Structure 1
Amino acid sequence: MNDITNILSAAAKGDSGASQQLLPLVYDELRRLAKQKMAREKPGQTLDATALVHEAYLRLVGANSGPHWDNRGHFFAAAAESMRRILVENARRKSRHKHGGERDRVDLENCDIAMSARPHEVLAISEALDRLSEEDQLAGEIVKLRYFAGLSVEEAGNALDLSRANSYRHWSFARAWLQCELSDDKKPE
């Protein structure tokens, strides 16, 4: 853990080799998180866990963004946000008319498997999450780490340097808030 923080500090000071040292240290954990998230996606995705990790990592250490993390928790929070944005962009692309967004996608090999997360659901959750983050930023971060990175409440709390009790408090608030928010979105106006 301390190695990651030292490498992040070196990267923030402009050490170009630091990002190359960082990937081997965080790759397995990022891949595990991405696998957990992708397991909840519907079958037949063009984006897999490996592609999600690689795209997120490129966005995190790419030439345009430059590393700027304070510690390990901050890095993984940034990775979760990056994965969230990638999945939302993918859902938006798939929901566009020219990509067959108005049609249900069916995997011909597994026709009887129910789909778990449709693109419009991912978009609704993302928009509600943005509103939640405006009201309670920590609750929003907990949800991002839970929903988009697949962390447990305790792992998300550790990444954000929160106590176990505070982690569960923010998670409970976020779940209740999102439940109300998402159920309001479904009511006709």
Structure 2
Amino acid sequence: MYRKYIKRILDLIFSIIGLVILSPLLLILIILIKLDSKGPILFKQKRVGKSKKYFNILKFRTMRIDTPKDVPTHLLENPEKYITRIGKFLRKTSLDELPQIINIIKGDMSIVGPRPALWNQYDLITERDKYGANDIYPGLTGWAQINGRDELPIPVKAKYDGEYVKKISFWFDLYIIFRTIFSVVKAEGVKEGANQNKH
């Protein structure tokens, strides 16, 4: 019941409330992004959704418009040269993810679920297939996110996503949301650049 109906209803309610409450902050961030560098406010990227259907994920643009496309930031050789000044702050605080509230309202995503893979992250998509993690809506945050985020090797990340699929419930989602807030405050698990050491 929760998995099939209630989760989506709660996603919709909390996303609309969140959009209203956060609208002053979103407006400030939009102005700062426009003042900081040339280019669009939002960054769109093709990601893998439920049942491996593609959708465009929305983020606040944190990088210059000449950044290589469809390369995860942690795989760029020198991401610092592409990240804008406001972008550095947005990424550290995870505020760049806020436009995904629109993705949730549209029905592309859920508040909690596996983080949507890039369309060309074939190894991650294949691993998730083993656990049925491609059969549910991807999330703004997830079980793997609060257990290591960018630091996790792909097989481990997919295994956490599989655990989430088995354990989906209201209380588990609530636990993940609260853990996410603490992780964001402490900026845990964020890795920038292919030359960074893994912990």
TM value normalised by structure 2 = 0.29
- Name whichever structure is richer in helix by fraction: 1
Higher radius of gyration, 1 or 2: 1
- Name whichever structure is richer in strand by fraction: 2
